[in-house]
Chains A and B, each alone.
Chain A
Amino acid sequence: MSVDAATVRRIAHLARIAVTDAEVPHLQGELNAMLAFVEQLQEVNVDGVEPMTSVMPMEMKKRADVVTDGEIVDAVTVNAPESEDHFFLVPKVVE
């Protein structure tokens, strides 16, 4: 399988990465090189094989449903590019 220029633009948008028209042909070439490389997986017989979902078989530990931290709003917002009164600021999203 390979991707065309329109698909490259669609993927970029899905990934929320702005690409210029000038960048599209180069990206298309790179993505198609990777897709060509992984194409060999099609020759593996995976009939009846379960997909790997856990690297080490183990039962996931469950912790008690209690509050273990909090009251650290300063620490949570300290690295925000823009914040006010402990809120993250973003461009207007509601008209």
Chain B
Amino acid sequence: MTDLTSLTLAEARDGLATKSFTSVELTDAHLKAMEAARVLNAYVLETPEQARTMAQAADAKLAKGEGGWLGGVPLGIKDLFATKDVRTTACSKILGNFVPPYESTVTAQLWRDGAVMLGKLNNDEFAMGSANETSFFGPVINPWRREGSDVNLVPGGSSGGSASAVAAGLCLGATATDTGGSIRQPAAFAGIVGMKPTYGRCSRWGTVAFASSLDQAGPIARTVRDTAILMRSMAGYDPKDSTSVDREVPDYEAAIGKSVKGMKIGVPKEYRIDGMPAEIEKLWMEGAAQLKAAGAELVDVSLPHTKYALPAYYIVAPAEASSNLARYDGVRYGLRVPGRSISDMYENTRAEGFGAEVRRRVMIGTYVLSAGYYDAYYLRAQKVRTLIKRDFEECFAKGIHAILTPATPSAAFGIGEKGGADPIEMYLNDIFTVTVNMAGLPGIAVPAGKDAQGLPLGLQLIGRPFDEETLFSLGETIEQASGRFTPPKWWA
């Protein structure tokens, strides 16, 4: 029998439907692969018993022809999604041994459609990071290494566990979240596909909040088709999230293979930044040529406020985080560190419970919202955000269907290599992805090539609101032209 962990999600789904193998066999193969790959630290909690129970239930349904859209497909779940009776920590010490008595909407929809949970995936603490190095459970290792090197690289962040697990064959797909690039940047670093949907497309209910006007859940998987399959389950209106959008969920998979002939693709000059490596520029132009060869029309466009997206993000996101994270007070759940007074108890709990990056962001957020500074920082940043969104709207109004950019300014880097002295160095990782969150648009990262050291590089396609389907069609065109990228297996 072929290695069941090397199948795509679509192949596995078809194999289950034709009874070539069972969900229990498929699930066991993944549990075995997870055990052999613990060095990657992708999972912070393995749930083998629950996985087998769910797989057995899926097999019973499959036998009756009632498997469901994802019947029997084993997935990994980012530890930001609350899973009923299964520890959920957002990879923070402050959530300690939190065991939610409820299930997030996104995961509930995956289980509704028959998917199987393998375990909880590592991420940056509260999704704050771009290298998965801020996790309380320690860094995740990227299955990719530079050619001829055994130096461990980061998988990107914050969905580093999701990216590493998907690339290493430790699940067929994973849930992830994206506040400034946390789906697309790790997908690019791991040579796989990540889709950040339009804001409001997936419910935020039951996902640990970071910055509520930017957070959006989405899938990471090994192919564009696989992400499209997962999206159909994850998306949808939820009365429990007042910002979720009541709009029909299309069959995203039907967009795969659709012709992109005649589509107008914008190439924004502002993404050609100073000091960008020549190989990123080359990758970008090759991607443009691939789309042109498929019949799309490339158009030079301008998004003049691009350079202000990252600084505006580092006001808006910390401000919202400081407010959201006020709930961790040692009273209702999670860690409590005693103090002489209730105020001391709060301060001690939060000092011990939050890691350095989270503390930094909560403090900057507190400052920009404090009396006397609100107008100068927060209000101005929200106005700049309007201008960033307007740039995109004007571009789309000219008939542009999607915008092509690099996904990241570099390939994966070494653990501990960046941001040690200056946090801004790490923040610059999100320079191409953060604009999309600021404007609430959908964006997909698709692997498109390798750098000189043999590491995968990704391209990003940015779409019109709720037009994920065009991104799937264009993304698959690049995938077909570039091929797929699989890391050599050194860990097992």
Q: Which residues of A contact B (CB under 8 A)?
A: 1, 3, 7-8, 11-19, 27, 30-31, 33-35, 37-42, 44, 46, 49-53, 55-56, 58, 60-61, 63, 72, 75, 77-82, 88, 90-91, 93
Residues on B with C-beta less than 8 A from A60 are 242
Inter-chain CA distance A16–B333, complex, in Å, is 17
Q: Is B380 an interface residue (CB 8 A)?
A: yes
* Residue numbers in A under 8 Å from B379 (CB-CB): 51
A residues in contact with B344, CB < 8 Å:
18, 91
Given known pairs A50-B383, A63-B239, the reply for A17 and B350 (CB within 8 Å) is yes
Shortest B99–chain A CB gap in Å is: 7
Best-buried of B213, B366, B367 by chain A (most CB within 10 Å): B367
Residue B348 CB within 8 A of the other chain:
yes
Cβ A16 vs Cβ B314 within 8 A: no
Chain A nearest CB: distance from B401 CB in Å? 19
Contacts of B383 in A (CB 8 A): 44, 46, 49-52
- B238 to chain A: closest CB distance in Å? 11
Docked-complex contact A55 and B364, CB < 8 angstroms: no
A31-B367, A53-B382, A81-B336 provided; 18 other pairs, C-beta below 8 A? A3-B367, A11-B363, A15-B363, A30-B360, A33-B422, A37-B314, A38-B311, A39-B311, A44-B305, A52-B382, A56-B198, A56-B199, A60-B242, A61-B239, A75-B101, A79-B334, A81-B330, A82-B336
Contact A18 B347 (CB under 8 A): yes
* Of A1, A33, A34, A82, most B-chain CB atoms within 10 Å: A34
Is B194 part of the binding interface, using a Cβ–Cβ cutoff of 8 Å? no
- Report how many residues on chain B are interfacial, defined by Cβ distance under 8 Å: 72
Hey, which bits of chain B sit against chain A, CB under 8 A?
A: 98-99, 101-102, 198-200, 213, 239, 242-243, 245-246, 305, 307-308, 311-312, 314-315, 322, 326, 329-336, 338-348, 350-351, 354, 359-360, 362-364, 366-367, 370, 373, 376-377, 379-387, 389, 422-424, 427, 439-440, 465
Q: Which residues of B contact A12 (CB under 8 A)?
A: 363
Tell me the bound Cα distance from A17 to B385 in angstroms.
Answer: 29
Contact residues in B for A39 (Cβ distance below 8 Å):
311
Supposing A30-B360, A31-B367, A55-B199 touch, asked if A18 and B424 sit within 8 A by C-beta, the answer is no
Q: Flag if A46 contacts B199 (CB, 8 Å).
A: no
A49 / chain B contacts, CB cutoff of 8 Å: 383, 386-387
Most chain B CB atoms below 10 A, which of A49, A56, A82:
A56
CA–CA, A44 and B304, complex, Å: 11
A residues near B331, Cβ cutoff 8 Å: 80-81, 88, 90
